[in-house]
Structure 1
Amino acid sequence: MAMLEVTKLGISFGGLRAVDELSMKIEKGGLVGLIGPNGAGKTTAFNMLTGVYRPTDGGIRLDGQNLVGKKPHEICKMGVARTFQNIRLFPKLTVLDNVKVGLHNQVGYSLIESMLHLGSYRKKEQEMDRRALEILKVFDLDREAGNLAANLPYGKQRKLEIARALATDPKLLLLDEPAAGMNPNETGELMDTIRLVREKYGVTILLIEHDMKLVQGICEYLYVLNFGKLLAEGTPKEVLNDPAVIKAYLGD
C-alpha cells in the first residue's frame, strides 16, 4: 500500500480550475519532487493535502486513510506535516521552544498540571526538552537551542522550520521550497540534512522545489505540474530531459 495516494484531485475557485485531475502515488520512505513553473498549482496541491483547501473532486489517502474533509489539525495528527515557502516560525520563542511546539502533538499535559507545575508537568517538560534537543542535533542546531528563532541566519531558520515539522512525528513530510533563498553551500547542507532525516526517521518526503541541483541530487521520482495539470512524471533524468518539460519549465 502506498503511503500517499492522490487520485484525480481537482479544485476550482469560481471559474478558475487551479488543479485538474492530479494523480500521484508515493511509496513509504519515498523522496519525491513536485515541480513546475510559478502558478502551476503546486502549493494549491499542498494546501489540499493538508486540509487548508477542500478539493472540489478527487481523493487523497494517507496510508489507506481518507484525508478529504479532514481539518488541518486532524490531518497533522494523522501524520502529515509541512513547511512553507515563506518561513513561519515563532520568532520571539527560542529555537528549542519552536521545536517543542511540534512535540505537543505527542507529549501533553492538562491545564491543572501546567498551572500548578506539578511533578508530572516538570517530567513531561524535561522529556520534551530531551526530544527537541535530539531533533535539533540532527539539524546541527542544538548549540542554538537557547537563541531566539528571529536571531538565526536565514539558512538556519529554514532548517529549524523543518525540525519543527519533524517534531510532530509525521508519516509524510511536505517541504515547500525548502532551499528558497539559500546560497549554494546552505543548499548542499540542506540536501545532506534531508537525506539524514529520511534515513533516521523513515519519513516519506514530498517536496516542491525550483532548485534543480537539489531536485536532481535527492529526488527519486518527479511529478511536473503545468497550468494545474500533470505534464510529466518519471525519474529526474527522464523528466528533466523531456522536451515538454524543458519548454514549459526550464525554457527552450
Structure 2
Amino acid sequence: MALLEVKNLGISFGGLRAVNSFEISIEKEELYGLIGPNGAGKTTVFNLLTGVYQPDAGKIILDGTDITGRKTTEINRAGIARTFQNIRLFKQMSVLDNVKVGLHNKHPYSTIEGILRLPGYRKVEREMDEQAMELLKVFDLEKYAQTTASNLPYGQQRRLEIARAMATEPKLLLLDEPAAGMNPNETGELMDMIRFVREKFHVTVLLIEHDMKLVSGICERLTVLNFGEVLCQGATSDVLNDPQVITAYLGE
C-alpha cells in the first residue's frame, strides 16, 4: 500500500480552477518530485495536503487513513510535516527552542503546569531539551544550540527548518523549493542531507524544486504539474525527456 494516495483533488479560487483532478501515489520511503512552471499550482497542492486549504473535490489518504479536510495540526499529528520556500523559523528564538517547538505535539502538558512550572512541566522540558539536542546532533547543528536562529548562515537555517519538521516525527516530509537561494556547494550538501534524512528516519519525501540538477540527482519519480493539472508522471529520466515536459516546462 502506498503511503500517500491522492485522488481527483481540486480547488477553485473565485472563477479560477487552481488545481484540477490532481492525482499522485507515493510509496513508503520514496524520494518524489513535484515540478512545473511558476504558477502551475505546486504550492497550492502542498497547501491542500497540509490543511491550509480545504479541497472542493477529491480525497487525500495517508497510510490508509483519510485525512481530507482535516485541520493543519491534525494533519501534522497524522504524519505530514513541511518546510517552506521562504524559510519560516522563529528568528528571534534559539536554535534549540526552534526544534523544541516541533516537539510540543508529542509532549503535552497543561497550561497550569506550565505557568506554575510544576514537576510535570519540568520533566517534559528536560525530555524535550534532550530530544532536541539529539536532533541537532543528527543535523550537525548542536554547536549552534543557543544561537539565535536569525544569526545562522542561510544554508544552516534551511537545515534547522528540516530538523524542526523532523521533530514532529512525520511519515511524509514536504519540502517546498529547499534549494532556493543556495549556491551549488550548498545545493550539493542539501542533496546529501535529503538522502540522509530518508535513510536515517525512514521517511518519505515529496519535494517541489526548480533546480533540475537536484531533481534529477535525488528524485526517483516525478509528477509534472501545468496549469493546475497533471501533465506527466513516471520515472525521473522518462519524465524529463518527455516532449510535452520539455515544451511546457523547459521551454525548448
User: TM-score with structure 1 length normalisation?
Assistant: 0.97
Equivalent pairs counted in the alignment come to 252
Q: Counterpart of 1:117 in structure 2: which amino acid? A: R
In the aligned structure 1, how far is the partner of 2:140 from the partner of 2:251? 37
Matched with 2:214 is 214
Q: Counterpart of 2:158 in structure 1: which amino acid? A: R
User: TM-score with structure 2 length normalisation?
Assistant: 0.97
Task: Say if 2:241 is the partner of 1:237.
Answer: no
Matched with 1:141 is 141
In the aligned structure 2, how far is the partner of 1:93 from the partner of 1:13? 36
Shift of 1:123: 2.2
Q: Counterpart of 1:104 in structure 2: which amino acid? A: H
In structure 2, the residue corresponding to 1:199 is in which secondary structure?
Answer: helix
Aligned ranges 1:1-252 → 2 under 5 Å? 1-252=1-252
Shift of 1:249: 0.9
In structure 1, the residue corresponding to 2:105 is in which secondary structure?
Answer: coil
In structure 1, the residue corresponding to 2:74 is in which secondary structure?
Answer: helix
Shift of 1:101: 0.1
The answer (yes or no) to whether the contact 1:8–1:57 under 8 Å persists in 2 is: yes
Output one character per residue of 1:139-179: Cα deviation in whole Å (capped at 9) or x when no partner.
Answer: 21111111000101111111111111111111111110011
Shift of 1:195: 0.8
| Identity in percent | 69
Q: Counterpart of 2:50 in structure 1: which amino acid? A: T
Q: Counterpart of 1:157 in structure 2: which amino acid? A: Q
Q: Counterpart of 1:184 in structure 2: which amino acid? A: P
The answer (yes or no) to whether the contact 1:35–1:223 under 8 Å persists in 2 is: yes
Q: Counterpart of 1:137 in structure 2: which amino acid? A: K
Pick which of 232-241 and 121-130 moved more: 121-130
Shift of 1:96: 0.5
In structure 2, the residue corresponding to 1:12 is in which secondary structure?
Answer: strand
The answer (yes or no) to whether the contact 1:198–1:204 under 8 Å persists in 2 is: yes
4+ aligned runs moved over 4 Å, structure 1: none
In the aligned structure 2, how far is the partner of 1:132 from the partner of 1:212? 33
Shift of 1:108: 2.2
Output one character per residue of 1:182-215: Cα deviation in whole Å (capped at 9) or x when no partner.
Answer: 1111111111111111111111110000111111
The answer (yes or no) to whether the contact 1:107–1:124 under 8 Å persists in 2 is: yes
Q: Counterpart of 1:210 in structure 2: which amino acid? A: H
The answer (yes or no) to whether the contact 1:138–1:197 under 8 Å persists in 2 is: no
In the aligned structure 1, how far is the partner of 2:191 from the partner of 2:123? 35
In the aligned structure 2, how far is the partner of 1:139 from the partner of 1:190? 11
Output one character per residue of 1:57-94: Cα deviation in whole Å (capped at 9) or x when no partner.
Answer: 11111011111121111111111111111111100100
Q: Counterpart of 1:177 in structure 2: which amino acid? A: E
Shift of 1:129: 1.2
Q: Counterpart of 1:175 in structure 2: which amino acid? A: L
In the aligned structure 2, how far is the partner of 1:184 from the partner of 1:80? 29
In the aligned structure 2, how far is the partner of 1:138 from the partner of 1:218? 20
In structure 2, the residue corresponding to 1:157 is in which secondary structure?
Answer: helix
RMSD (CA atoms): 1.0
Shift of 1:112: 2.6
> 5+ residue gaps in structure 2?
none
Q: Counterpart of 1:87 in structure 2: which amino acid? A: I
In structure 2, the residue corresponding to 1:32 is in which secondary structure?
Answer: strand
Shift of 1:54: 0.8
In the aligned structure 1, how far is the partner of 2:211 from the partner of 2:136? 25
In the aligned structure 2, how far is the partner of 1:15 from the partner of 1:197? 40
